[in-house]
Structure 1
Amino acid sequence: MRRGVIALDRTVGVVVALALIAAGVLAVVWWHSGTPHQLTLHTPPDRTQATWWPWATGAAGVVVALLGLWWLAAHLPRRVNGRFHLTSRVGAGRLFADAHAAVAAAAADLSAHPEIRDASGRVVADRGELVADLQCTIEPSADLEKVRVAVTQAAADLHAVLGLPRLRHRVRLRVARNDRTTAPPRVV
């Protein structure tokens, strides 16, 4: 997500939280004060019968729907173009690196590790940064130090292959429900 969307999320969250806190405090104060248990309210004039009301509610509905669609679109992770121009000192040719292929190769390399059952990866733009996002499923009995070494080596290899100084990496580990290495064989 972009910083503007994150700032808007936090602002809306703070406003909603403050409104809920204020409503709770008002309810507690009203309950503890000696105010009567019956309120007399004066109703405002009925504006729903006016000729402009259907148009106003329709326009408000369209605005709210568009705002909701923008909100959803702003929260989707953005995939980036995987081709990056590499600096070259050789002639007038141009060199490109395919980040998606490099991340897929790093994930395949991690999948070959005995402690890691499965790995996948992608390149995304997250908060204005280019991120190589690797996701690994590890065995429940895996030695985390061996996993850390394998993941650190894969990330270092990825950075060495791509040579992009602005590339960041994120590795997410999930633990499998059952251990494939110690599970008894199934009889069919």
Structure 2
Amino acid sequence: MRRGVITLDRTVGTLISLVLIAAGTLALCWYYNVFPTAPTELTTRTPADYSHSTWWPWATGAAAIAVLLLGLFWLTRHLPRRTNSRFTLPSTITNGRLLADANAAVTAAAEGLAARPEFREGSGRIRADRGQLVAELHCTIEPAANLDAVHAAVTQATQDLHAVLGIPALHHRTHLRVARTNKPSPTSRVH
């Protein structure tokens, strides 16, 4: 999501929370008579019946369309953004262009990590996150893995990835999960 959408979500959520907290606090204060000048009873009257007015269908129709458009706008702002994983590489070739598939490079980097003894499996992808291009690596490490070796391997893999792709605006994120059990060792059978 974009920063503006996240800011709007947080602002609306905060305002709704504050209104609900204030309403609950006022209800408790009224129930326990914290404000002695407040009325002890609330009287209501029947609201005027506008549903038979000539403007009523137009007003409800306009309100329904406004809510529908607001809902569609809200949904479209929350859709995940697709990222083109193919990038043009700088080249001296004049009659063509060189393309790099960033998803393939990220997947290869993750598989390279998975081939190491500290890692069990790995996957990767390119995605757009808040207007930034991010290479994500998802790896599972062994429970007994040396964390210094894991750190060195991930650092080397991301440096290699940046060198291969050559995209200056590329960021990276690495998610490491620890396997619950040790990898079963291969057993040999004696006949």
| CA drift at 1:164 | 0.5
| CA drift at 1:91 | 3.8
Aligned counterparts of 1:50 and 1:119: Cα–Cα separation in 2: 65
- Do the aligned partners of 1:141 and 1:179 also contact (CA within 8 Å) in 2? no
Aligned counterparts of 1:127 and 1:184: Cα–Cα separation in 2: 45
| CA drift at 1:71 | 2.6
Alignment partner of 2:22: what SS? helix
| CA drift at 1:161 | 0.2
Alignment partner of 2:41: what SS? coil
Aligned counterparts of 2:50 and 2:116: Cα–Cα separation in 1: 69
Aligned to 2:41: 38
- Do the aligned partners of 1:77 and 1:124 also contact (CA within 8 Å) in 2? no
Q: Structure 1 residues 61 and 144 mapped into 2: Cα distance closer, same or farther (>3 Å)?
A: farther
Write the deviation string for residues 5-59 of structure 1: whole angstroms up to 9, x where unpaired: 1221122122112212321331233232334543211232133454654564455
Which segment drifts farther, 10-19 or 102-111? 10-19
The question of 1:128 aligning with 2:128 is answered no
Which segment drifts farther, 50-59 or 154-163? 50-59
The question of 1:106 aligning with 2:109 is answered yes
Regions of 4+ moved over 4 Å:
49-59, 182-185
Aligned length: 183
Aligned to 2:183: 181
Structure 2, unmatched stretches of 5+, are none
Aligned to 2:20: 20
TM-score, normalised to structure 1, is: 0.81
Matched-pair identity in %: 61
The correspondence for 1:170, drawn from 169, 173, 180, is 173
Aligned counterparts of 2:137 and 2:43: Cα–Cα separation in 1: 61
TM-score, normalised to structure 2, is: 0.80
Structure 1, unmatched stretches of 5+, are none
Task: Give 1 or 2 for the bigger CA radius of gyration.
Answer: 2
Q: Structure 1 residues 46 and 139 mapped into 2: Cα distance closer, same or farther (>3 Å)?
A: farther
